[in-house]
């Protein structure tokens, strides 16, 4: 005998015009309104006579809200057109076909206009309380691979060194906060260092324009170990901490470090890791003398690497002041950038680049970065949390079912009773509504 609580006993109909899909997006929509984000798109984004030029702000905001709701494809934006969802978002929700036309209307120049919007939004969010202020700021730069499978995507038809097709974007994030300062889409066969110096310069300038008044340090892996990147940091008055490539010259310098100079550090294997320091002039006699800090790690007993060497070496050059062990531990925290990249790919929609046109995919990247930052600012300003991921934010606060009613000439958004995070939600909404609209 079937229970009266069986799902088979429920009648299902799609007939509620007042239902709201992803009602928790009102948090992000309130912050976006406080930052004047829609007006920024309308003011700074000029697509000329392209078919998708009209109402750029509404279309861009539709894509932002769609990826924050979990959409990975352009067609997923259709979920925002269900019921009364559009009234919660504060803008007209565009159809997927319209959004596709909008993205295909971008050129590389208009994609740079999106960078300008992102920079202004960053400055406004930081001024509203999400920024580092006068405290030291560490910028992590890295590249990632976004694999594609079609043969008709511009810039993604070549086979890269991993044997895959796709794109190879550059990303710069704020250590400890997760904000993405800058992004740049590149073709898949581009090596990590291509365009890195200009990218670093633009990133540093954007951070300073946004209100970072304290000292800045740039951390990077060996893909950014080039004289142009180090020169760009020196020119901008920024310190750097960059992993070196273990060339013959570097190995020779490491071999000359006296054995008594190595200092043990905590490691899962007793005596398994040590750190030492020496001076080194990278990139020939014209380069500046920098500190070379090296960590040596004993291979796992019985591993293949243990058959050929006693230690595996990892070094980086830096011009920072401070204790060797402190700087070495800080440099290893560069790995935090991988969490940002993971959040971009699995928290928003960067795991999929939808168009065959390079500029359209560059616009998709820029909009996903802005959506990621909106999630970070919503968490930091509204919830007072820094380390929450976009997925957690979505499950607890954004993907809420709701119902919109009207009484006494006022709209009322009804959310589920006994929601575990209801108190935090209402407190965050009050805080985000207090973000002053820019004048």
Report pLDDT for 44. Answer: 94
Distance CA 49, CA 56 (A): 12
Contact of 274 with 265, CB cutoff 8 Å: yes
Q: How confident is the model at residue 9 (pLDDT cuts 50, 70, 90)?
A: confident
Q: Does pLDDT of 101 surpass 70? A: yes
Say yes or no to pLDDT of 333 above 90: yes
| pLDDT confidence band for 151 (50 / 70 / 90) | confident
Task: Say yes or no to pLDDT of 1 above 60.
Answer: no
List Cβ neighbours of 128 (8 Å cut-off, separation of 6 or more).
Answer: 34, 35, 377, 381, 435, 436
DSSP letter assigned to residue 170? E
Which residue is listed with tokens 């000029």?
Answer: 46
Alpha helices (H) along 256-357: 324-332, 337-346
Q: What is the arrangement of strands in the sheet containing 19-20, beginning at the earlier edge strand?
A: 19-20, 402-407, 410-414
The count of other CB atoms within 10 Å of the CB of residue 206 is 21
Instruction: Give the pLDDT confidence score for residue 307 in this predicted structure.
Output: 61
Q: Over range 137-152, report the average pLDDT.
A: 92
pLDDT number for residue 3: 61
pLDDT at 99 > cutoff 80? yes
Longest CA–CA separation in the chain, Å: 87
The model's pLDDT over 389-409, given as tens digits with 9 standing for 90+, comes to: 999 999 999 999 999 998 888
Q: Confidence band (pLDDT; 50, 70, 90) for 428?
A: very high
> Which SS3 state, helix, strand or coil, does residue 130 take?
helix
Give DSSP secondary structure letters for 40-51. Answer: HHHHH---TT-T
pLDDT on residue 306:
61
- Its pTM stands at 0.94
Q: How far apart are the first and last CA of the chain?
A: 66
Q: Is the pLDDT of residue 424 over 90?
A: yes
State phi, psi for 435 to the nearest 5 degrees: -65, 120
Cα–Cα distance measured from residue 194 to residue 43, given in angstroms and rounded to the nearest whole number: 32
CA distance 292 to 290: 6
Task: Give the Cα separation of 101 and 154 in Å (integer).
Answer: 17
Q: What is the mean pLDDT of residues 58-66?
A: 97
What is the DSSP code (8-state) at residue 93? P
Q: Is 150 exposed, middle or buried (0-12, 13-18, 19+ CB in 10 A)?
A: exposed
In contact, 405 and 411? CB cutoff 8 Å: yes
User: How far apart are the C-alpha atoms of 100 and 71, rounded to whole Å?
Assistant: 14
Which H or E element spans position 205?
helix 196-209
- Token pair in block for residue 368: 């996903």
| 84: number of Cβ within 10 Å | 20
CA atoms within 13 A on the CB side of 303: 10
Place of tokens 């402190």: 326
Would you say residue 2 has pLDDT above 60?
no
């Amino acid at each position: 005998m079937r229970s009266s609580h069986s799902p088979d006993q429920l009648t299902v109909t799609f007939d509620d015009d007042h239902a709201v899909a992803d009602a928790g997006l009102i948090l992000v929509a309130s912050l976006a309104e406080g930052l004047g984000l829609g007006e920024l798109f309308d003011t700074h984004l000029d697509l000329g006579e392209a078919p998708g030029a009209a109402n750029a702000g509404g279309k861009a905001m539709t894509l932002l809200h769609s990826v924050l709701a979990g959409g990975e494809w352009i067609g997923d934006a259709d979920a925002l057109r269900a019921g009364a969802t559009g009234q919660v978002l504060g803008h007209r929700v565009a159809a997927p076909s319209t959004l596709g036309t909008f993205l295909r209307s971008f050129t590389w120049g208009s994609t740079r206009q999106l960078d300008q919007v992102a920079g202004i939004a960053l400055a406004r969010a930081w001024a509203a309380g999400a920024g580092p202020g006068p405290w030291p700021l560490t910028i992590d730069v890295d590249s990632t691979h976004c694999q594609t499978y079609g043969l008709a995507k511009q810039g993604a038809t070549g086979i890269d060194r991993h044997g895959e097709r796709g794109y190879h974007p550059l990303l710069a994030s704020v250590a400890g906060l997760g904000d993405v300062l800058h992004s740049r889409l590149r073709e898949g066969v581009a090596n990590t260092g291509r365009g890195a110096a200009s990218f670093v310069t633009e990133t540093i300038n954007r951070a300073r324009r946004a209100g970072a008044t304290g000292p800045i340090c740039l951390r990077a892996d060996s893909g950014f170990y080039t004289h142009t990147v180090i020169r760009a940091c020196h020119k901008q008055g920024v310190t750097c901490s960059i992993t070196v490539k273990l060339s013959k010259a570097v190995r020779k310098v490491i071999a000359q470090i006296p054995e008594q100079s190595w200092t043990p550090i905590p490691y899962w294997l007793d005596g398994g890791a040590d750190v030492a320091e020496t001076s080194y002039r990278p990139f020939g006699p014209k380069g500046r003398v920098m500190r070379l800090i090296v960590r040596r790690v004993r291979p796992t007993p019985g591993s293949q690497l243990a058959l050929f060497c006693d230690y595996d070496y990892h070094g980086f050059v830096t011009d920072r002041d401070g204790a060797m062990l402190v700087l070495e531990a800080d440099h290893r925290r560069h790995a935090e950038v991988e969490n940002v990249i993971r959040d971009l790919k699995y928290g928003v929609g960067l795991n999929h680049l939808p168009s065959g046109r390079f500029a359209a995919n560059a616009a998709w990247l820029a909009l996903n970065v802005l959506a990621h930052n909106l999630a970070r600012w919503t968490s930091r300003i509204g919830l007072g949390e820094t380390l929450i991921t976009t997925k957690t934010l979505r499950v607890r606060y954004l993907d809420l079912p709701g119902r919109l009613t009207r009484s006494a000439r006022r709209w009322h958004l009804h959310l589920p009773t006994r929601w575990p995070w209801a108190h935090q939600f209402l407190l965050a909404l009050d805080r985000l509504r207090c973000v002053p609209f820019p004048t």
